[in-house]
Structures are given as C-alpha cells and as structure tokens.
Structure 1
Amino acid sequence: MNNSERIISFPHIGNYYVAIEFLIKNTLNMKSLTPPPITKKTLELGSKYSPDFVCVPFKYNLGNYIEALEKGANFLVQAGGGCRFGYYGEIQEQILRDLGYKFDFISILNTDDLNPLSVYGVFKSVNPSINFRKFVYYFELTLKMVGVIDKIEKYIRENIGFEVKDGSFEKLQKEFLKDLKKIKNFRELNAVHKKYNILFNEIKTNKPENPIRVGIVGELYTIMEPFSNYFIEKELAKKGMEVTRFITVTYLFRSHPKTKDLIKMAGKYLKYAIGADGTDSVARTKELAEAGYDGIIHVKPFGCTPEVNAMPMLQNISNDYKIPVLYFSFDSQTSETGIKTRLEAFNDMILMKREKEKCKKVI
C-alpha cells in the first residue's frame, strides 16, 4: 500500500480521539477513520473473537478494530500498555488476520517514555517522508490539546452534578470538542481553551458548601473510557456528587509520580510496586481518605492482576480511615442494572454516614 491508499484507525478511549485524529492528520498525511462510538455491539464483536481469559479492554479494542475495518480502514494502531495488555497487539493482529482482514498494523507507546524522538521513529516507519520539525511541532501541540481536554473535563467532573439546568455541561462539551477539531496552531488552541473556560464557568450551578466527594481509582482504560465503566461518573453526578480522578493521559505521561514516590505516599500500606496502575490506586486512595473524601470507587477489568493485588491494601485503608470503598470488576457479562443498584446503595451508605456524624456533633 502507498500512503495515499492508507486509511488509519485506532481504538476509542474517552474523547482523546479528537487529539489522535489531529496528530495523524498533521503528521502522517493519512486519512484517519475513527471507529463508531462504542456500543454493546462493539463489545459483542470483540468478545466473540477474543480468548476467554483476556481482560475486557482487549475486547473493546478488538471490537473497535473490526468496526473500523468494516468501514474501510486498512492500517491499525495499537497503543500497548504497562501490564499484560502490552503483549496483546500481536494477538489482536493475528485474530484479525485469521478473520480474513487485510491491513497493516503497528504498535506504539509500549513504554512510559512519551517523547517526540521515540514516537517520531515509529511514525517515520509509516511515512518515511515525514518532516521532523513539523512532527515535533504537532506532537507538542497534540499533547497540549490533550492537556486542555483534561482540564476542561476535570472541571466538568467536579461541577456537572450541581448544574441548575440539566444537560448544560454536556451540550457545551460537545461544542468544545467540535471547536477543538478546527484548531491549527497553539494560538488557536489557547483561544479555544480561554473561551470555554469562561463559558463553563458561566454555567449556573447550585453546589453546596460541603458536597459529597467521591474519588475514582483503578485501571486506566476502565477509568478513561466511560462506556467500559457504564458511565459511572455520570451516574454519580446524577446523585449530586463531586467526582475526582487522577488518571488521565496528561497525568500518565506528564505528571505521574515516580514509583518510589507513590510507594512513599502509600505509607505503611505498600512496600513494593505491584504493577501497572495498582501502586497508584493504593497511594491515591490513601491520599483521598486523608483529604476527607466521602467514598472511593475502585474500577478494574475482571482478572486485572495489579488491581486485584491492590484491593487488600485498599480495604485496609477503608478500615483505618472509616471510608467506604466500592469495588467494580467489569467484563462482557456485567449488568448495567447491577451497577446502578450498587451505586444507589453506596450513595445511601454515604448519606447515612454523614447523618450519623452530624448527630455526633450535635450531641
């Protein structure tokens, strides 16, 4: 295949597809094809052709690939990972070839070192004529775009549960992403960021002085792809909660503490790294507990070993700080009704705990 015939695609993960499309368009000079929004069909397709033992992010990604290939994609990108997911690319490629699909396949970011030189080498293998200076410019611009997405979404998580008019934040977020797709340089990106900072702050909210605060920790894909966690942040917002999570692309590649620092943050609860995001989960749960949060939600794919390893320490923190921790393991058989029922019970538990503490202060 020559470059003009290549149509590149990649798996979904939150709203980061906007930044990925931007980078591909401005560096590889290839047409990009974003898979359709994730639905139950995506998961069904991925589950049908996946080994039973793999985690659910593998199945979502495989479903994304199949839907993209069916729509005309012929070049697939896999981003690897810090756990066994880093070995999944070859398996996904073989499954798709066994199904009869014709495509090129490349794995990138099988490292925590997201720097222009390493990514440029991968991109140059796809398009040998790529200009280094141009690549570095758009690579840095893409990273800044990701940072803007993360900052806006942080504000949304903290305030959407208190909007006066239902749907105000979601409507403006769609407009924000639409405008983000039009930017061409740093100046335009800064202008879009400034514009929507003002607009989001202008949305009327009725936020109490001491809102219920819930932190979310766990495995990165399940946290950042809302469909994979059954839109848990949205469900919490409906109950009038302020939501905090640390895991974002910006956090993972720009501000993530070193492992030794996370172990130090975890204190007596952790002496050694436990892999992938597990160490982070323990350290951040302790941090949230010390900050007086009302509850913690731990999310992971079923069978995710690092997060399974983290759970006993999370339970110890829960016991010591008297903070409830709700555990979710997601797979292709997870019931949406079951998720909502457990969230409802979690909310009731927090409200009862608050009422009990209020009564103690009165006495």
Structure 2
Amino acid sequence: MTTRRDFLKAGGAAAATGVVFCSCGLLQSAHAQQPTRQKLPVMVDGKRVKTIDVHSHCQFHETSALLGDTPPISVRGVDETYVEIDKRLAAMDAQAVDIEVLSINPNWYDRDRDLAGKVVKIQNEKLAELCASKPDRFAGFASLTLQAPDLAVQELETAVKKQGLKGAAIGGTVNGVAFSDPKFHPVWAKAEELGVPLFIHPQGVPELNKQLAGNGWLTNAIAYPVETTIALSHMIFEGTFDRFPKLKVIAAHGGGFLPSYADRSDHACLVNPKGCNPEIKLQKQPTEYLRQIYFDSLVFTPEALRHLVAQVGAGQVVLGSDYPFPWELHPVDPILATASLSDSEKADILGYTAAKLMNIEV
C-alpha cells in the first residue's frame, strides 16, 4: 500500500525534476517553474486573513466498524481521514490553512433508520468533541440521517444548538431520490430557520459505473461532478431555491460541471417546452440561481477560478481543498495567483465569506 506520506516523499523527489508521475501512466509537468508556497499567516494587501477550508474530510473508527466500512486503500490520503490532531495541524500549517471545517461523506443512506441514526449520533458527538478540543483550528459539518427526514431535522437542530456544529454535510442524492423531492422540505426548512449551510458532497452515480469503467478513475473524476450538477439542477428547476430563498448550499468541487456550462440551462425550456413543467414557474432565469449558491474553490487553476467567479460571483466562492485526499495540497496558492480577483475578493474567498456563512469568529 502506498501511503500519503510515501506519496509526498516521492512527490518531493519528482518536484526536483519538475515532473509528477500519475497512476494513470501519464507524465506531466508539475509547473514550468516551481512557485513559492504560501505559508501561515496569510496576508492580503498587508492584512492578516484567517483562511477557512470548508472541504476537508474525517471519519471515526467507531462508526466505520458499525458500518463495516472498508475504504479503498488504493486512494491516497484515506488513512489520514482518521484524524491525528498533531499530524493534521502540521498538514494544515503546510497548506496555509488556519481552520478546517470537517465533514464525513455519507455512506449510511442505504442503511436502516436505527443503524444510520446510531452512526450519525456517534459521529456528531465525536466531531463536536474534536472541534471543541481545538476551536481555533477546527469546525464541523454534522452528519444527517437524510433517508429519514424527520430524524434529520432533529439531528440538525441538536448539532447546531447543542453541539456547536456549523451546518451539515449531505450527499448528492438519497438512494436516487433528488433533493428537490418534497420529502426533504422539512430538512431544508430547518436549515433555513437555523441559518446554517448544507455542504453538498457527491458520492458517485452507480448507474454510470459500467460506462465509466476503465482507466482514469472516471467514477470519481466524471461521476462526482455529474452528481453535483444533477443535484443543483433539480433544486433549481423544481423550484427548491424559490421555496427556500434563504437556504445556504455549498457545492463541492466548484459545483461540478454546472458553472462551466450554466447558460445551456437558460435555453432548455425554450427549445423543448414539453420537457418542462408549465406549473413550475421559476422566479428567475436558471443561471441566476447560481448567485445564491456557494461553491468551493477546488477547480485547481487560476484560469478555472477566474471562470467560476465570472459565472457565480466572487462572493459565492469559498476555499476548499478535499484534504486529506491530495487533489490540491496548496489550496491558497491558486486564489492568490488569480490576477482577475481584487485583494478584497481574494480575502473573501480565503476566509471572510465562510466566516460569515458559519458564524466563525475571525
């Protein structure tokens, strides 16, 4: 098994030659010139900015055992989702991240209510305990038994009001049922009432697995962004965001593919009116709803970030890394390198917007 530490060690040697080897068999240039990596404290226009990473993962041995969970050992970083505080803090320092908002990917939606409820209870208690041990470095998104919306409402209220968690992390669907389904309305209403965000993190699209088999880990590289795109599109077109105008949703991985081709959504019902429900009368153009959704910055390059901001607005983007999975080990750097952003916009993306969203004191 190749651990993340082995990966980083090998990566250091590769960086010296300016190349990185990919498990897909590709050889690519890491950078034409190795950049200077941002360190803590992060300064923008001479002012200290506390950076807040809204997309970082953890899990707990107790609930993994209950679920019989066996994470794929081939995925780099999976061993470090079980947080060892000193190691995690050292990694955050190296990434120039002041605060991680921890979340757990929901792999219990297909379990019965009692088992899933037990898993969620343990996870929220453990996560609250972890965050309380280092409140200046960690915050957390609660888990929810979303397949039982009535229970999820109770869990969310307890997590926010009693455990100090900052919102909840949810998947991209619940066993194939879209979030626009009325059964979930009580959960969105509770999140709106509490004023806390819901972080959408996809889990994959099993129906596509056969087509995506083969080289390139397409079940993640393609299916994850597709699932987020579908989830957000249903919430837009079914009127969920009209029904809950103050609902705060953060979409992982830059919102999937939706912001990259959002304008197509504005034309679909014009081209095929019979493909749209005349009883659903949206209050805005589909693309306008992107201005009330939040997106993490995990799009890798300054050009991709420039385009995301052009589509959704700088005030809708927040810092995200996907740590400990090594998708972006230096998440602050692309933001600082995006020349189209003003200093105030960079500061907002790095931390100020997330702080306001989650009532984190900075």
- Structure holding more helix per residue: 1
Q: Indicate whether the TM-score tops 0.5.
A: no
Higher relative contact order, structure no. (Cα contacts within 8 Å, ≥ 6 residues apart): 2
User: TM-score, structure 1 length as denominator?
Assistant: 0.30
